[in-house]
Structure 1
Amino acid sequence: TTQIIQTREIDVFKPLVIIFTRVEGGTASNVIPTTVKLGGSIRYLCEDGEGDEKKFERVIAGVCKAHRAKYELKFIHSNRMLSNDPGMAELVRITAEKIVRSQDDIASDVRTMAGEDFAEFALRVPCAFG
């Protein structure tokens, strides 16, 4: 299954999250539906995540082949990875040092899988998100 990609096929220093969040199929509780739709997201922190998409499709194709099923796969790329502008991030760090008592409480270069609409702003103007 897709868990194989996350645990055996990617670099542990390039995190990847695959999550299924929607399942649609049929309307009756006693009839097996002829089609099922799955929805979800794949999130990655590296710019070469398209390779992970190919691995994902390979797994889906294999599962469908094993069960003599057909599939249609569509990737919709929405928010890009959120990257802080180095200059703005430094400004935030300097300001935080004036407010926070201990530098141990200030995190720097934290990477997260959180999807943020803020990333779209950061593509257009220098920003720092924290």
Structure 2
Amino acid sequence: MLLATLLLASATTADAIPEPLQGLQGDAQRGRAIVASRQSGLCLLCHSAPIPEERFQGTLAPSLAGAGARWSAGQLRLRIVDSLRINPDSIMPAYHRVDGLSQVGRDWRGKPVLDAQQVEDVVAYLQSLKD
């Protein structure tokens, strides 16, 4: 996992991870399901999104509507992988980073919240949100 972290760090620019993780291609439909999920992504706890069938969406963080018009795929990827690199005061968890974290439950230590494919799926969905 340390090797993966080092490779990820070397592939990161100031505000983006330009290349897809592990060269994977995301699927927007799967990404939408992850964003809407109350078990895996948990995005809607803090964000709102154009997913009208999901009630009780968050207001603590920016709306995801129009995310694909505001940020590039690489910028979205970095925000999902480790938002603290963009904003050290962010309350958003690192969804793909596993090192240097504190207060991680025993069952989650060394495991990312989202694997590389899931990250790419969420990026694909967010990129589809142009309005």
Report the TM-score, using the length of structure 2 for normalisation. 0.23
Bigger fraction of residues in helix: 2
Higher relative contact order (CA 8 A, sep 6+): 2
Bigger fraction of residues in strand: 1
Report the TM-score, using the length of structure 1 for normalisation. 0.23
